[in-house]
Structure 1
Amino acid sequence: MDNATAAEKDKIVALEEKRYQAVVDGDYDAFEDLCHQRLVYTHSLGDRDTLSSYLEKLRKGYYRYHRIDHPIEDIVLIGDTALVLGQMNADLTVNGTHKTLANSALSVWIKEGETWKFLAYQPTPRKAAPAAA
Protein backbone atom coordinates (compact mmCIF):
# COMPACT_ATOMS: atom_id res chain seq x y z
CA MET A 1 0.00 0.00 0.00
CA ASP A 2 1.39 3.38 -0.95
CA ASN A 3 1.62 6.33 1.43
CA ALA A 4 -1.28 8.19 -0.23
CA THR A 5 -3.57 5.19 0.17
CA ALA A 6 -2.49 4.69 3.78
CA ALA A 7 -3.13 8.39 4.51
CA GLU A 8 -6.61 8.21 2.98
CA LYS A 9 -7.43 5.09 4.99
CA ASP A 10 -6.25 6.84 8.15
CA LYS A 11 -8.63 9.73 7.34
CA ILE A 12 -11.53 7.32 6.92
CA VAL A 13 -10.75 5.59 10.23
CA ALA A 14 -10.78 8.99 11.97
CA LEU A 15 -14.05 9.97 10.28
CA GLU A 16 -15.71 6.71 11.33
CA GLU A 17 -14.63 7.39 14.91
CA LYS A 18 -16.04 10.93 14.72
CA ARG A 19 -19.41 9.85 13.33
CA TYR A 20 -19.97 7.13 15.90
CA GLN A 21 -18.80 9.37 18.76
CA ALA A 22 -21.07 12.18 17.58
CA VAL A 23 -24.22 10.05 17.89
CA VAL A 24 -23.15 8.64 21.28
CA ASP A 25 -22.45 12.20 22.50
CA GLY A 26 -25.72 13.52 21.04
CA ASP A 27 -23.76 15.97 18.86
CA TYR A 28 -26.06 15.69 15.88
CA ASP A 29 -24.72 18.85 14.22
CA ALA A 30 -21.27 17.23 14.12
CA PHE A 31 -22.82 14.06 12.71
CA GLU A 32 -24.67 16.06 10.05
CA ASP A 33 -21.45 17.82 9.02
CA LEU A 34 -19.91 14.43 8.20
CA CYS A 35 -22.83 13.30 6.05
CA HIS A 36 -23.60 13.61 2.39
CA GLN A 37 -26.97 15.25 1.75
CA ARG A 38 -28.12 12.07 -0.04
CA LEU A 39 -27.28 9.76 2.89
CA VAL A 40 -29.08 6.41 2.90
CA TYR A 41 -29.00 4.99 6.43
CA THR A 42 -30.32 1.45 6.65
CA HIS A 43 -31.14 -0.05 10.04
CA SER A 44 -30.75 -3.61 11.33
CA LEU A 45 -34.36 -4.54 10.53
CA GLY A 46 -34.15 -3.15 7.00
CA ASP A 47 -35.93 0.18 7.39
CA ARG A 48 -34.18 3.15 5.82
CA ASP A 49 -33.74 6.79 6.64
CA THR A 50 -32.61 9.79 4.66
CA LEU A 51 -30.29 12.26 6.33
CA SER A 52 -33.20 14.48 7.34
CA SER A 53 -35.41 11.67 8.67
CA TYR A 54 -32.53 10.09 10.62
CA LEU A 55 -31.53 13.44 12.14
CA GLU A 56 -35.14 14.11 13.12
CA LYS A 57 -35.31 10.75 14.92
CA LEU A 58 -32.00 11.38 16.66
CA ARG A 59 -32.94 14.89 17.75
CA LYS A 60 -36.36 13.78 19.05
CA GLY A 61 -34.78 10.92 21.04
CA TYR A 62 -36.26 8.06 19.02
CA TYR A 63 -32.72 6.68 18.82
CA ARG A 64 -30.41 7.21 21.78
CA TYR A 65 -27.03 5.51 21.53
CA HIS A 66 -25.35 4.66 24.83
CA ARG A 67 -22.31 2.72 23.59
CA ILE A 68 -20.92 1.80 20.19
CA ASP A 69 -17.91 -0.38 19.43
CA HIS A 70 -17.01 -0.40 15.76
CA PRO A 71 -13.97 -2.48 14.86
CA ILE A 72 -12.90 -1.95 11.25
CA GLU A 73 -11.85 -5.08 9.40
CA ASP A 74 -10.97 -3.56 6.02
CA ILE A 75 -11.21 -0.36 4.00
CA VAL A 76 -11.45 -0.68 0.23
CA LEU A 77 -10.61 2.47 -1.73
CA ILE A 78 -11.77 2.68 -5.34
CA GLY A 79 -11.32 6.12 -6.84
CA ASP A 80 -13.19 8.61 -4.67
CA THR A 81 -15.21 5.91 -2.87
CA ALA A 82 -14.29 4.17 0.37
CA LEU A 83 -16.01 1.00 1.56
CA VAL A 84 -15.57 0.39 5.27
CA LEU A 85 -16.19 -3.20 6.32
CA GLY A 86 -16.43 -4.01 9.99
CA GLN A 87 -18.76 -4.35 12.92
CA MET A 88 -21.15 -2.16 14.84
CA ASN A 89 -21.87 -3.38 18.35
CA ALA A 90 -24.07 -1.07 20.38
CA ASP A 91 -26.37 -0.50 23.31
CA LEU A 92 -29.13 1.93 22.51
CA THR A 93 -32.70 2.90 23.22
CA VAL A 94 -35.11 2.75 20.28
CA ASN A 95 -38.42 4.48 20.92
CA GLY A 96 -38.09 3.78 24.64
CA THR A 97 -36.94 0.14 24.34
CA HIS A 98 -33.37 -0.90 25.20
CA LYS A 99 -31.61 -2.90 22.48
CA THR A 100 -28.20 -4.46 22.06
CA LEU A 101 -26.91 -4.77 18.50
CA ALA A 102 -24.24 -7.05 17.10
CA ASN A 103 -23.96 -6.23 13.40
CA SER A 104 -21.60 -6.66 10.53
CA ALA A 105 -21.60 -3.31 8.78
CA LEU A 106 -20.74 -1.59 5.53
CA SER A 107 -20.21 2.16 5.50
CA VAL A 108 -19.71 4.06 2.25
CA TRP A 109 -17.84 7.35 2.06
CA ILE A 110 -17.32 9.47 -1.05
CA LYS A 111 -14.75 12.17 -1.60
CA GLU A 112 -15.97 15.49 -2.92
CA GLY A 113 -13.00 17.73 -3.62
CA GLU A 114 -10.81 17.18 -0.58
CA THR A 115 -13.66 16.26 1.78
CA TRP A 116 -14.95 12.78 2.58
CA LYS A 117 -18.71 12.52 3.18
CA PHE A 118 -20.67 9.64 4.72
CA LEU A 119 -23.06 8.42 2.00
CA ALA A 120 -24.51 5.06 3.04
CA TYR A 121 -24.72 2.56 5.87
CA GLN A 122 -25.87 -1.07 5.77
CA PRO A 123 -25.83 -3.28 8.88
CA THR A 124 -26.49 -7.01 8.95
CA PRO A 125 -27.23 -8.71 12.28
CA ARG A 126 -24.66 -11.39 13.12
CA LYS A 127 -25.80 -14.78 14.30
CA ALA A 128 -25.34 -15.44 17.98
CA ALA A 129 -22.48 -17.78 18.83
CA PRO A 130 -23.68 -21.33 19.52
CA ALA A 131 -23.95 -22.21 23.18
CA ALA A 132 -21.14 -24.35 24.60
CA ALA A 133 -22.13 -27.99 25.05
Structure 2
Amino acid sequence: MSTFTEADQQAVEQAEHAIAAAHLDLDRGIDVIAHLLHPDYVLIQPGGDIETKDDVLASYRSGTRRWDTAAVDQLSTRAHGDAAIVIGRWRATGQNGAEHFDYQARFLSVWVRHDGTWRNIAYQSTEIGG
Protein backbone atom coordinates (compact mmCIF):
# COMPACT_ATOMS: atom_id res chain seq x y z
CA MET A 1 0.00 0.00 0.00
CA SER A 2 1.30 3.46 -0.92
CA THR A 3 1.71 6.28 1.54
CA PHE A 4 -0.63 9.23 1.04
CA THR A 5 1.51 12.36 1.20
CA GLU A 6 0.77 16.06 1.51
CA ALA A 7 1.54 16.27 -2.23
CA ASP A 8 -1.14 13.63 -2.86
CA GLN A 9 -3.65 15.62 -0.81
CA GLN A 10 -2.83 18.76 -2.78
CA ALA A 11 -3.12 16.86 -6.08
CA VAL A 12 -6.55 15.45 -5.19
CA GLU A 13 -7.85 18.82 -4.00
CA GLN A 14 -6.45 20.58 -7.08
CA ALA A 15 -8.22 17.98 -9.23
CA GLU A 16 -11.52 18.73 -7.44
CA HIS A 17 -11.04 22.42 -8.25
CA ALA A 18 -10.05 21.60 -11.85
CA ILE A 19 -13.24 19.60 -12.44
CA ALA A 20 -15.36 22.46 -11.08
CA ALA A 21 -13.54 25.03 -13.22
CA ALA A 22 -13.88 22.82 -16.32
CA HIS A 23 -17.67 23.18 -16.10
CA LEU A 24 -17.36 26.88 -16.96
CA ASP A 25 -16.12 26.17 -20.51
CA LEU A 26 -17.23 22.67 -21.47
CA ASP A 27 -15.91 22.99 -25.03
CA ARG A 28 -12.40 22.87 -23.57
CA GLY A 29 -13.20 21.52 -20.10
CA ILE A 30 -14.75 18.25 -21.25
CA ASP A 31 -11.26 16.86 -21.92
CA VAL A 32 -10.14 17.79 -18.39
CA ILE A 33 -13.21 16.12 -16.91
CA ALA A 34 -12.79 13.01 -19.09
CA HIS A 35 -9.14 12.68 -18.01
CA LEU A 36 -9.87 13.06 -14.29
CA LEU A 37 -12.78 10.58 -14.19
CA HIS A 38 -11.81 6.94 -13.69
CA PRO A 39 -13.08 4.53 -16.39
CA ASP A 40 -15.36 2.93 -13.74
CA TYR A 41 -16.67 6.29 -12.47
CA VAL A 42 -20.18 6.34 -11.04
CA LEU A 43 -22.24 9.38 -10.09
CA ILE A 44 -25.25 9.18 -7.79
CA GLN A 45 -27.45 12.19 -8.50
CA PRO A 46 -29.23 13.98 -5.63
CA GLY A 47 -32.51 12.37 -6.74
CA GLY A 48 -30.98 8.88 -6.69
CA ASP A 49 -30.31 8.39 -10.42
CA ILE A 50 -27.04 6.62 -11.23
CA GLU A 51 -24.82 7.72 -14.12
CA THR A 52 -21.59 6.30 -15.53
CA LYS A 53 -18.65 8.24 -16.90
CA ASP A 54 -20.05 7.80 -20.42
CA ASP A 55 -23.48 9.06 -19.31
CA VAL A 56 -21.99 12.16 -17.70
CA LEU A 57 -19.77 13.02 -20.66
CA ALA A 58 -22.64 12.50 -23.15
CA SER A 59 -24.83 14.80 -21.09
CA TYR A 60 -22.16 17.49 -21.06
CA ARG A 61 -21.52 17.12 -24.81
CA SER A 62 -25.24 17.48 -25.58
CA GLY A 63 -25.04 21.23 -25.07
CA THR A 64 -28.21 21.39 -22.97
CA ARG A 65 -26.37 22.51 -19.82
CA ARG A 66 -24.46 25.69 -19.15
CA TRP A 67 -22.70 26.74 -15.96
CA ASP A 68 -22.30 30.43 -15.15
CA THR A 69 -20.55 29.70 -11.85
CA ALA A 70 -19.09 26.48 -10.50
CA ALA A 71 -16.85 26.08 -7.47
CA VAL A 72 -15.94 23.72 -4.66
CA ASP A 73 -14.84 24.72 -1.17
CA GLN A 74 -14.82 23.51 2.44
CA LEU A 75 -12.73 20.50 1.33
CA SER A 76 -11.81 17.86 3.88
CA THR A 77 -9.63 15.05 2.52
CA ARG A 78 -9.02 11.69 4.17
CA ALA A 79 -6.44 9.22 2.93
CA HIS A 80 -6.69 5.47 2.67
CA GLY A 81 -3.59 4.16 0.88
CA ASP A 82 -4.19 4.59 -2.85
CA ALA A 83 -7.65 6.05 -2.23
CA ALA A 84 -8.84 9.38 -0.92
CA ILE A 85 -12.24 10.57 0.23
CA VAL A 86 -13.07 14.24 -0.17
CA ILE A 87 -16.03 15.87 1.53
CA GLY A 88 -16.84 19.39 0.42
CA ARG A 89 -19.36 21.88 -0.84
CA TRP A 90 -20.30 22.37 -4.52
CA ARG A 91 -21.91 25.65 -5.59
CA ALA A 92 -23.14 26.36 -9.10
CA THR A 93 -25.51 28.46 -11.14
CA GLY A 94 -26.51 28.06 -14.75
CA GLN A 95 -29.03 26.62 -17.17
CA ASN A 96 -30.16 23.00 -17.61
CA GLY A 97 -32.40 22.89 -20.65
CA ALA A 98 -35.06 25.55 -20.11
CA GLU A 99 -34.53 25.67 -16.35
CA HIS A 100 -32.22 28.01 -14.46
CA PHE A 101 -30.47 26.53 -11.42
CA ASP A 102 -28.80 27.98 -8.35
CA TYR A 103 -27.50 24.98 -6.48
CA GLN A 104 -25.51 24.20 -3.35
CA ALA A 105 -24.67 20.67 -2.27
CA ARG A 106 -22.53 18.77 0.18
CA PHE A 107 -20.60 16.09 -1.70
CA LEU A 108 -18.58 12.97 -1.08
CA SER A 109 -16.02 12.24 -3.76
CA VAL A 110 -13.84 9.12 -3.91
CA TRP A 111 -10.48 9.25 -5.68
CA VAL A 112 -8.09 6.40 -6.52
CA ARG A 113 -4.56 6.38 -7.84
CA HIS A 114 -4.87 4.93 -11.36
CA ASP A 115 -1.84 4.61 -13.65
CA GLY A 116 0.03 7.12 -11.47
CA THR A 117 -2.74 9.75 -11.61
CA TRP A 118 -5.50 10.55 -9.15
CA ARG A 119 -8.88 9.80 -10.75
CA ASN A 120 -12.38 10.35 -9.42
CA ILE A 121 -14.16 6.98 -9.23
CA ALA A 122 -17.34 7.82 -7.30
CA TYR A 123 -19.31 10.94 -6.46
CA GLN A 124 -22.53 11.61 -4.55
CA SER A 125 -24.09 14.90 -3.54
CA THR A 126 -26.96 16.06 -1.37
CA GLU A 127 -28.54 19.47 -1.86
CA ILE A 128 -28.06 21.93 0.97
CA GLY A 129 -31.35 23.58 1.82
CA GLY A 130 -31.47 27.33 1.50
What TM-score results when the alignment is normalised by the length of structure 2? 0.88
- Report how far residue 102 of structure 1 moved: 1.1
- Report how far residue 87 of structure 1 moved: 0.3
**In structure 2, which of residues 99, 102, 105 is the aligned counterpart of residue 103 of structure 1?**
105
Letter in 1 for 2:13: V
Aligned residues: 126
In structure 2, the partner of 1:90 is: 92
- Report how far residue 63 of structure 1 moved: 2.6
Matched, 1:70 2:82: no
Dislocated runs of 4+, deviation >6 Å? none
Contact 1:72 1:84 in 2 (8 A): no
SS at match of 2:46: coil
In structure 2, the partner of 1:13 is: 13
- Report how far residue 25 of structure 1 moved: 1.5
- Report how far residue 53 of structure 1 moved: 0.9
Name which of structure 1's ranges 117-126 and 91-100 shifts more when overlaid on structure 2. Answer: 91-100
In structure 1, the partner of 2:23 is: 23
- Report how far residue 68 of structure 1 moved: 1.1
Consecutive unaligned residues in structure 2, runs of 5 or more: none
- Report how far residue 46 of structure 1 moved: 2.1
In structure 1, the partner of 2:34 is: 32
In structure 2, the partner of 1:131 is: none
Percentage of matched positions with identical amino acids? 26
Q: Could you give the per-residue CA deviations for residues 74-94 of structure 1, whole angstroms, max 9, x where no partner exists?
A: 100101111110100110222
Q: Could you give the per-residue CA deviations for residues 71-121 of structure 1, whole angstroms, max 9, x where no partner exists?
A: 033100101111110100110222221111110011111002421111111
Q: Which has the higher contact order (CA 8 A, sep 6+)?
A: 2
Consecutive unaligned residues in structure 1, runs of 5 or more: 129-133
SS at match of 1:46: coil
What TM-score results when the alignment is normalised by the length of structure 1? 0.86
Taking the TM superposition and a 5 Å limit, the aligned residue runs for 1:112-123 are 112-123=114-125
